[in-house]
Amino acid sequence: MIKIITVAMLYHRKHPIQVKKAYNCAAVAKMEGIEFYYFSPGNVRLDEKMIHGYVYENGNWIQKEMPLPDVIYNPSGMRTSNQKEVYRKLKKIIPFTSHPIGDKIKVFSKIKQLPEFTNYLIPSEKIIDIQTVLHALNNFRQIVVKPLSGSNGLDVIYIERSEENFVVLEESNRITVNEAELHSKIETLISNKKFLVQPFISCRTIDGHPYDFRMHVQKNGLGVWSITMIYPRIGSKNGIISNVSKGGYTGKLNSFLIKEYGIEDYNIKRTLEQFAIHFSEKFDDLYENPLDELGIDIGIDENNKLWIYEVNWRPGYGYRGFDSAKNTIPYAAYLAKQNKHVG
């Protein structure tokens, strides 16, 4: 008799009603014949090998005593020391679907190990002091400063050398500063967290809006990389980034490509699709633990050259939640079989 696979979702929030992707996963699991429940670290009783989890039944989340699952889907970081301790203990005895890829500099270093992708890398350097920034400005004139670890476009700053002064753009706030003022700004910035500096790569629509492409890729039920969605993110005209949380918006890939690239739309689409899969396969091989999903941000400059802006772990789902769950749950079941936790 074949054992029914049990997948559990571990999240820092106590109740699944606060987590949209929990319902999407529960719905897909139902269709796939997989048992699914949601839990937070406070509901775990390891000594009894039981979890007080939430099961979705008849339109409601019902709390039930559940056995330890075959696989844990872990889309959330833990917040408290107690949560982190439970997380570590569970990870030692149950396969997790998701594994970290490191900060932006670590990712940059990893990609440098792939000869076929180094040409797509934007030169990046960790900021040690103001000299790192001035050296970059001397080499590239236009640069971007961004946090080593961060998301949603927070604390991204554009700097341009302008004769004896510097133009600094934060979100849509544009100011001109001298070297002493820039020095003070950078020192204040790096005193709180770590930053890197890159040359600025211009990627703008014909209307002058900054944009990039988000490639959301996931492993499916066969353990094979597949494209969940590729879509453009378009920023405000006066901005430097295209992140949706900073006033930008998402578009439909096909109509966007037709508008921006005309008769080249199909070729650009195929290039993006092939890049997404090939890169994910090679990047995955660089890590000891298998990766489950990536958010790859790609820019295309005025010469139609692709650039890797960022590679993200645990990319946001937004309105693609159900599409994502259709890969998340089958991949978790695949992991269970690979780890021989089920028949």
10 contacts 39 by C-beta, under 8 angstroms: yes
Helices (H), the chain: 20-32, 81-93, 104-111, 130-140, 179-192, 253-261, 265-284, 321-338
Cα–Cα distance between 205 and 220 in angstroms, integer? 33
Please report which confidence band the pLDDT of residue 343 belongs to, taking 50, 70 and 90 as the band edges.
very low
Strand order in the sheet with 211-219: 249-250, 225-234, 211-219, 293-300, 306-312
Whether pLDDT at 171 is above 90: no
CB–CB of 333/34 below 8 Å? yes
- Sorting pLDDT into bands at 50, 70 and 90, what band is 319? low
213 sits in the region (left: phi over 0; alpha: psi -120 to 50; else beta) called beta
pLDDT in tens, 95-136: 999 999 999 999 999 999 999 999 999 999 999 999 999 999
pLDDT tens digit sequence for 126-165: 999 999 999 999 999 999 999 998 766 678 999 999 888 9
Q: Which domains does the chain have, with CATH numbers?
A: 6-97+332-338 (3.40.50.20), 104-121+203-313 (3.30.470.20), 125-199 (no CATH)
Q: How far is CA 170 from CA 6, 37, 103, 136, 240, in A?
A: 47, 43, 22, 18, 8
Query: pTM (2 decimals)?
Result: 0.92
